[in-house]
Amino acid sequence: MDDLERFGDEKTVVVTTYRRDGTPVDTPVHIAVEAGDVYMRTYESAMKWKRLRRDPRVMVSRADMGRRPALVGLLAGKRVHRAGQGIPARAVLLEGEESNRAAHAIRRKYPFLQGFLIPWVHRHVYRTRTLNLKLVRRDSPGDPGAGGTQSQRGSQGRD
Summarised one tens digit per residue, pLDDT across range 89-111 is 999 999 999 999 999 999 999 99
Phi-psi region of 23 (alpha: psi -120 to 50; beta: other; left: phi over 0): beta
Please, what is the average pLDDT of the chain? 84
Q: Of 34-38, 42-46, 142-146, where does mean pLDDT reach its minimum?
A: 142-146
| 49 located within any domain | yes
Q: Of 25-34, 46-55, 67-76, where does mean pLDDT reach its minimum?
A: 67-76
| 27 located within any domain | yes
Torsion angle in degrees (nearest 10) through CA of 59, 60, 64, 67: 170
Tell me the sheet residues that pair with 117.
Answer: none
| 30 located within any domain | yes
The pLDDT assigned to 146 comes to: 45
The pLDDT assigned to 64 comes to: 85
**Which CATH number fits the domain that encloses residue 103?**
2.30.110.10
The pLDDT assigned to 115 comes to: 87
Per-residue burial over 78-93, b if 16 or more Cβ lie within 10 Å, else e, is eebebeeebbebbbbb
| 153 located within any domain | no
Reduced to 3 states (helix: H, G, I; strand: E, B; else coil), residue 100 is helix
Number of domains in the chain: 1
pLDDT one-digit tens code per residue, 59-88:
999 988 766 666 676 667 677 888 888 999
CA dist 154 and 136 (Å) reads 17
144 or 10: whose pLDDT is higher?
10
The parent domain of residue 57 ranges over 3-142
pLDDT level of residue 151 (50, 70, 90 thresholds): very low
